[in-house]
Amino acid sequence: MPAVAAVAFFAQLLTALLLYNQYRASRYVPIFILSLTYASTSLLLFLYVLTLPHLFSESGLFGAGSQASAWLYFEWHALFVVLVLIYLYFDRFAALELMTPKREAAAMRRITWLVVVATLLAGGVPIWFHDVLPQIVDGTHGTRLWGQVLVPGLLGLYGLALIVLAIETRFRAVAQLTIGMVLIACFFEVLIGNVLASSRFTSGWYLAWVEWIIAAMLFLGVLLYHVYQVVLELATSNRALLRQTRIDELTGLLNRRGFNANLEEQWRHSKRTRRPLSLLLIDVDDFKRFNDRFGHPAGDDALISVAEVLSSFTRDGSDSASRIGGEEFGVVLGETGEAGGLALAERIRRSVEHLRIPQASDAAHTYVTISIGLASTSHDAEFSPADLTMLADQALYTAKASGRNCTRSAADDEVAARRSRLRVVPRRASTDVPGA
């Protein structure tokens, strides 16, 4: 019993908290009343369990007699139905927009004080004045007052609330449908526990508690599902936004931001696993002449064609292709050494040449071509992402100076000679990649 009651208590308390947070977000007064409803009934449920005879003590805690828990049971159920009816009243006025914000605030203050006072009275009177209250239980059995007056009245209240809810709302909203299901579950809980069960602590009485657990957790389950949906939508939106900030709109490849992030990630993986990493920097040859001759729309089409070639040669996960400038591209090759990088670079270069996109007449080649600079990590020197980018850029410069439409590696003698003249050496401290 304490375990079952604890589940119901915390479920109702959490429901009240979630409903209150929804009210703070929406400022919709009926939601605030529902929050009060679950908060007050959770307190009365807590007192009911503490005062139940034979559970924590022979007559119940706080000096309560045998009648206290029975009256708390009735008051806790009755207060729930009354507050649901108040919720429906305010929901109707809110839907019709008949209340001004000033009147709503005043009504909320009055309702809050009313609920607080009603809860304190409902909890305190049965405990401190149980001797003067009418007897409604005799041992574990209910008296005639309980069985013929209070229980039928309670069932009638639940039935009335359900009918009013159906007429007023037609269960148009999820909250209204959930409240209807809670009322039905509570109705059958009272019916099973007090009409079909012969007395307390029988199988029917425990079955009624199962019904109450269902009633207590119904709204919580709906609210948690709603929270899950909101979090899922937020995560999806964040992923979409992140993708937009890292994708080049024209080619669909990664942009410079995405290139930097991916290169950093693959560099860390290479350093951790001691596996090689290669970087290709690619530039479309004589692209300004191409644009001047055929126009920018044709230039965009040419860039898209080159991007499609690059995408076809990248593996999912370890490789990535990026557009990092106007006509400049980058390809990060995870777990690929210099030999593999050179072989792939040559295949990419030949594939672009085989597209046979006509070039301007004053260009170096008849068709659109690319130049490629390659740099690879090695185990005898620790390169940062910025070092790798710088070395690949120098190799690309050498490829351009060598007549274009070719591939050069940072390990080539001519690139190494140029690097020594410029006194460019790998750095060990910085891990920053040049920004866009």
Distance from the first to the final alpha carbon of the chain: 65
Q: Report pTM.
A: 0.59
249 an active-site residue?
A: no
Please, which pLDDT band fits residue 433 given cuts at 50, 70 and 90? very low
Tokens 């509570």 -> residue: 186
What pLDDT does 431 receive? Answer: 38
Residue type, 348: I
Please give the structure tokens belonging to residue 8.
């119901």
- Residue 199, burial from CB neighbour count under 10 angstroms (0-12, 13-18, 19+): middle
pLDDT for residue 426 is more than 50: no
Please, which pLDDT band fits residue 424 given cuts at 50, 70 and 90? very low
Cα dihedral sign, 36-38-44-47 = negative
Q: Which of 233, 327, 335, 346 is catalytic?
A: 327
Is residue 246 a contact partner of residue 261, using CB atoms and an 8 Å limit? yes
Task: For domain 2-240, give the CATH number.
Answer: 1.20.1070
Cα dihedral sign, 295-296-297-302 = positive
Task: For domain 256-422, give the CATH number.
Answer: 3.30.70.270
Among residues of the chain, what percentage have pLDDT more than 70? 89
Which of 29-38, 84-93, 356-365, 390-399 is the least confident region? Answer: 84-93
pLDDT single digits (tens) 124-166: 888 888 778 888 888 777 888 988 899 999 999 999 999 999 9
> Alpha-carbon distance 48 to 170, whole Å?
34
Contacts of 112 (CB under 8 A, 6+ apart): 36
Please give the structure tokens belonging to residue 145.
């007052």
pLDDT single digits (tens) 374-418: 999 865 556 789 989 999 999 999 999 999 999 999 887 666 665
> Alpha-carbon distance 230 to 224, whole Å?
10
Contacts of 91 (CB under 8 A, 6+ apart): 30, 168, 169, 176
Q: Do domains 2-240 and 256-422 have the same CATH topology?
A: no
DSSP string across 264-289: HHHHHHHHHHT--EEEEEEEETTHHH
Domain ranges of the chain: 2-240, 256-422
